[in-house]
A and B are shown apart, each in its own frame.
Chain A
Amino acid sequence: MHEKTTAQKSNTNQKIQDIMSRHYYRRRLVDKIVSAFAITCVLAAIIPLGSILLEVIKNGASAISIQLLTQPPGAIGTTLEDSGGIAPAIQGTLIVIGLASVIGVPIGILAGIYLSEFASGTGLLPSAVRLFNDVLTGLPSVVIGIVGYITIVLAVGSFSVLAGAFSLSIIMMPIVVRITEETLKVVPNSIREAGYSLGISKWKITLFIVLKSAKSGVLTGIVLAVSRIAGETAPLIMTILGTSLFFSSFTKPIDALPLRIWRLASQPYDTAHSQGWGAALLLIVIVLISSVVLRLLVQRKGFKIKAIHL
């Protein structure tokens, strides 16, 4: 190898230094432009969301009252005192979302586990499941409502809680599947190998080690899915129908907040509109609380072991 002289070396160093200092100011400028652009994009996304939220709070907060939260709907187009409340809708929303989650979350998580842990990446079945899952994500919710109508409402002979929960569970499943799969895939393989090296069977490694490591990601999927179905209206019109009565049976119609908002908004009375705003605010609060509660439930900080005496 040809050895460079000291003079040559310092010459090269000087050149590199020159080039780097010339680029330095340009780079700082580009940095600033990119940051400004990113902030503009954030604002563009937040302003519409924020203004909707503010509008709902402005109009809804004054409508929230004990009467609204505890009474069934009263007579249409009367005074505020006689117009009742939206209690059956609150109850119905909680029941339908709860039941939909009980059906949709376990199936979604198991399907996600299958795609990530048990299916080889290129097989026919996993590819098909992935494709249909993506298609399902984009399916209009009204179509899923019609499916619920045909399969359960017509079969049972009545609009029902079950039909609503079934439809909503189909809407939430692809979200849970996708996020579970993606989250499990980023769990490092060394963790699985550690499990294998202890002679632990695959399903136990998957459930007690891999899924546990990925729980916050999976939880995000569940929160997203619950938030998504909480606001669905179209499939509910065709499955739970809506009623002014409280829950009586899983095979009877029930009310839900989005349905109630829609009905109140389509009445030509100010009291109804005001109640509608209140219901909208309530729905947002319920989604917020449920996601916070879910996080608290699963992401307990620290490790709890029953007292160890060694």
Chain B
Amino acid sequence: MTTYWEAVHDPLLNILSSSKEDNDHYFNGLRYKVSIKNLDAWFGTKQVLKSINLNIKPNAATAIIGPSGCGKTTLIRCLNRMHEMTPGAAAKGHIVIDGDTDIYDKAIDPVIIKRRIGMVFQKPNPFPTMSVYDNVAAGLKLNGVKDRRLINDIVKESLKSAALWDEVKNELDKPGIGLSGGQQQRLCIARALAMQPEVLLMDEPTSALDPIASSKIEELIHGLKKELTIITVTHNMLQAARVADFTAFMYLGELIEYGPTDQIFKTPQKELTERYISGKFG
């Protein structure tokens, strides 16, 4: 039996909270680039994300931090619908881009959405059989772009944006896997940028790199956020503090706290966040 209270009050609360979110949408006249609403995700029967609600601002870098296994990687893999490609994995909820496109809408092709939302992985993964040039051009060529001059321009532009152009401009025909680890990761960034994405997801992009290569990637993030929205997962809190405008702290599949990076690190509102930031667990 459903009581009157359950039948009326709960939906009412839902409406109130959702209309509040809609108002949040125009915070300081600034629209949210990505709005995550009630996102749940599973591996088999194990729920790894529990009702995540998160609004991400455009032209800013947002870091997701948290201890291993907290679901931060799963969260960004949901943002381009990569998560569900793992056998047994599932996701449910809404992720709205630009306030109008729900990427979890049934009418949306998950292949197409990945062209708007680029991704850089934890380990550099250039295509092993391709040259530096072809690695960057692959996304365009395999998506039907045939204009050679256009491809040339975009390859050059992308490599410049990824701060790799000067290092590879004379060896564009060399194999991509012949580059150093840090260069390979910037090659992967260039490859993602060539698709002209609006959002760039980075899954611990520096965890396989040495400190110098890492700092280059961090500098890159600073420059890139002028053009696009960056969401990066990191287990390195210092890195989050350095590169991110906003930081989200996750624990055991839940979003614990989210706000401007300064606030999260200096005056966290939740005890759990404070304990994690100060290194008491994690």
Spell out A's residues near B (CB within 8 Å).
Answer: 120, 188, 190-191, 193-202, 204-205, 208-209, 212-213, 215, 303-305, 308-310
Partner of B175, one of A193, A197, A303: A303
Question: Is B128 interfacial (CB 8 A cutoff)?
Answer: yes
B115:A198 contact, CB within 8 angstroms: yes
Taking the nearest CB of chain A, how far is it from the CB of B252, in angstroms? Answer: 25
Interface residues of B in 120-150 (CB under 8 A from A): 121, 123, 125-131, 133-134, 138-139, 142-143
Taking the nearest CB of chain B, how far is it from the CB of A303, in angstroms? Answer: 4
Which of these binds chain A: B11-19, B28-36, B79-87, B229-237? B79-87
A308:B152 contact, CB within 8 angstroms: yes
Main secondary structure of the interface of A (DSSP, over half): helix
Q: Give the complex CA separation of A213 and B103 in angstroms.
A: 31
Q: Which residues of A contact B134 (CB under 8 A)?
A: 303, 305
A190:B143 contact, CB within 8 angstroms: no
A196:B82 contact, CB within 8 angstroms: yes
Question: Is B1 interfacial (CB 8 A cutoff)?
Answer: no
**29 A-B pairs whose Cβ atoms sit less than 8 Å apart in the complex:** A190-B123, A191-B127, A191-B128, A193-B125, A194-B121, A194-B126, A194-B188, A194-B191, A195-B138, A195-B142, A196-B111, A197-B114, A198-B192, A199-B111, A200-B138, A200-B142, A200-B143, A201-B111, A208-B142, A209-B127, A209-B142, A212-B129, A213-B128, A305-B133, A305-B173, A310-B153, A310-B155, A310-B156, A310-B169
Main secondary structure of the interface of B (DSSP, over half): mixed
Question: Is B70 interfacial (CB 8 A cutoff)?
Answer: no
Query: Residue of B at shortest CB range from A121?
Result: B87
Q: Which residues of B contact A303 (CB under 8 A)?
A: 130-131, 134, 173-175
Q: Give the complex CA separation of A196 and B139 in angstroms.
A: 10
Question: Is B118 interfacial (CB 8 A cutoff)?
Answer: yes
Query: Lowest 9 CB-CB distances: which A-B pairs, in order?
Result: A199-B115, A198-B139, A197-B119, A199-B114, A190-B125, A303-B131, A200-B142, A212-B129, A310-B156
Q: Give the complex CA separation of A190 and B124 in angstroms.
A: 9
Q: A191, A198, A215, A304 — which one has the most chain B CB atoms within 10 A of its CB? A: A198
A193-B121, A305-B133, A310-B152 known, 11 other contacts, Cβ within 8 Å: A190-B123, A193-B85, A194-B191, A196-B111, A198-B143, A198-B192, A199-B195, A200-B111, A200-B139, A303-B174, A310-B172
Q: Give the complex CA separation of A191 and B174 in angstroms.
A: 18
Question: Is B7 interfacial (CB 8 A cutoff)?
Answer: no
Question: Is B212 interfacial (CB 8 A cutoff)?
Answer: no
B125:A308 contact, CB within 8 angstroms: no
Q: Which residues of B contact A196 (CB under 8 A)?
A: 82, 85, 111, 114
A194:B111 contact, CB within 8 angstroms: no
Question: Is B8 interfacial (CB 8 A cutoff)?
Answer: no
Taking the nearest CB of chain B, how far is it from the CB of A65, in angstroms? Answer: 45
Q: Which residues of A contact B112 (CB under 8 A)?
A: 199
Q: Give the complex CA separation of A191 and B184 in angstroms.
A: 13
Query: Residue of B at shortest CB range from A120?
Result: B87
Partner of B172, one of A190, A191, A199, A308: A308
Q: Which residues of A contact B173 (CB under 8 A)?
A: 303-305, 308
Query: Residue of B at shortest CB range from A209?
Result: B127
Taking the nearest CB of chain A, how far is it from the CB of B165, in angstroms? Answer: 9
Q: Which residues of B contact A309 (CB under 8 A)?
A: 152
Q: Give the complex CA separation of A242 and B160 in angstroms.
A: 66
B131:A305 contact, CB within 8 angstroms: yes
Q: Give the complex CA separation of A101 and B16 in angstroms.
A: 68
Q: Give the complex CA separation of A305 and B142 in angstroms.
A: 16
Taking the nearest CB of chain B, how far is it from the CB of A219, in angstroms? Answer: 13
Partner of B142, one of A188, A190, A198: A198
Q: Which residues of A contact B152 (CB under 8 A)?
A: 308-310
Taking the nearest CB of chain A, how far is it from the CB of B117, in angstroms? Answer: 9
Q: Give the complex CA separation of A305 and B134 in angstroms.
A: 9
Q: A199, A204, A205, A213 — which one has the most chain B CB atoms within 10 A of its CB? A: A199
